[in-house]
Amino acid sequence: MGYLIDNLQYANWSEKVFRQMREGGVDAVHVTITYHESFREMVLQLEAWNRRFEQFPDLIMRGTVAADVATARATGRTAIFFGFQNPSPIEDDIGLIEIVHQLGVRFMQLTYNNQSLLATGCYEDYDAGLTRFGKQAIAEMNRVGLVVDMSHSGDRSTLEAIDASSRPIAITHANPSWWHPALRNFDDDVFKPLVARGGMMGFSVYPHHLKDGSACTLESFCEMVAEAASRYGAENLGIGTDLCQDQPDSIVEWMRVGRWSKAMDYGEGSADAPGFPAMPSWFGDNRDFGNIRDGLGAVGMSDAEVDGVMGDNWFRFYDENFGPDNS
């Protein structure tokens, strides 16, 4: 059986969650360590993770290269890889891109829903595309091996990032809008050029990204993955659950608005239900990845294709993109 990699989680980290990772046989997880934090606030998150690695050395380990996934599997642990859902930790200093990579960060979104110094988020009325800083930031990210993530960006910004990047980029947690039309999902006109350049798309199980929301069926989700494989090639697909396990509803306010607004912007949620939606019955935590694996097989995907989606494709992507560009 191939690797099991979830390329996006933002759980309320605890021994319980780490033990569930082990029960589910999860070899690696890309964890969000910042949404709107400054550089110094981001460092505090790294300190917290260092304490977790020290406290639970039998359950988790720090990951910075693809080989760490293999080491984690061989030693019965889960490798933890760091990522940003916003470029705020690099502030307005391009030199911090190399610094955060040296600190172990491997993914950085250019936007989180709003306009940033680099690009435009998917909730803005007008997508102006990449900024001058954004184009230079991508070149620097390519140089050091910090992956460009456009999961919360507008279509124009995403397409320009695909073109500007000399290395493959990722949409770590979203779904096709032909399956479920949501502002956070993308259509063929984005996914096709993404994969044509070797980019990866990670399928989300966050209910706002799912057809029928919390009532989405496993069969519907897996049929969507199979259809995406037929459209884009199974080798470019993975999982990025966007699992926000055990987080209090109050954390949604930080995710959605940070410090920029006094008013709650419900974004992907509803004004009537601003908290976290209920997860679908077939995926509640890290012990449930087997349901997705079985579901993909049930809709006719081959064992090799399923292994790829469940983790082998992300492993290959890590191996090719986490180091410096030596071309």
> Which residues are CB-neighbours of 307 under 8 A, at least 6 positions away?
1, 2, 3
CB distance 76 to 26 below 8 Å: no
Q: What is the pLDDT of residue 309?
A: 98
Q: Report whether pLDDT(9) > 90.
A: yes
Average pLDDT taken over every residue of the chain: 95
Q: What percent of the chain has pLDDT over 90?
A: 90
Distance CA 69, CA 43 (A): 24
Please answer whether residues 65 and 323 qualify as being in contact, where contact means their C-beta atoms are separated by less than 8 angstroms. yes
pLDDT of residue 262: 86
pLDDT for 121-135, tens place per residue?
A: 999 999 999 999 999
pLDDT in tens, 54-74: 999 999 999 999 999 999 999
CB atoms within 10 A of CB 266: 15
> H or E stretch including 19?
helix 15-23
Rounded to two decimals, the pTM is 0.96
86: Cα separation from own chain's centroid? 12
Give the fold, CATH level 3, of 5-11+89-321: TIM Barrel (3.20.20)
According to the model, what pLDDT value does residue 271 have? Answer: 41
Which residues sit opposite 298 in a β-bridge? none
